[in-house]
Structure 1
Amino acid sequence: MQIQLSGHHMDITPALRQYVEEKMDRLARHVEGVGKVHVVLSVEKQRQRSEATIHMQRGTVFADSEAEDMYASIDALVDKLDRQILKQKEKNTDYRSGVAR
Structure 2
Amino acid sequence: MEVQIKGVHYSISSTLRENIEKKLSRLDYVKDHIVHFYFTIVKDSKDYKIEADVHFNWGKTSHVEVHDDNLYQGIDDLFDKLEVKATKEKDKIQSH
Pair in the same fold by TM > 0.5? yes
Q: Which runs of 5+ in 2 are unaligned?
A: none
Aligned CA-pair RMSD = 1.3
Which structure 1 residue ranges, 4+ long, deviate > 6 Å from structure 2?
none
Partner of 1:35: 35
3-state SS, counterpart of residue 78 of structure 2? helix
Say if 2:15 is the partner of 1:15.
yes
Percent of pairs with identical residues: 26
Cα offset for 1:19? 0.8
Partner of 2:54: 54
Paired positions, count: 95
Of structures 1 and 2, the larger Rg is shown by: 1
Q: Which amino acid aligns with 1:23?
A: K
Deviations 1:25-58 (A, max 9, x none): 3213234232111111011112111101111112
What TM-score results when the alignment is normalised by the length of structure 1? Answer: 0.85
- Equivalent-residue separation in structure 2 for 1:28 and 1:62 (angstroms): 18
Partner of 1:94: 95
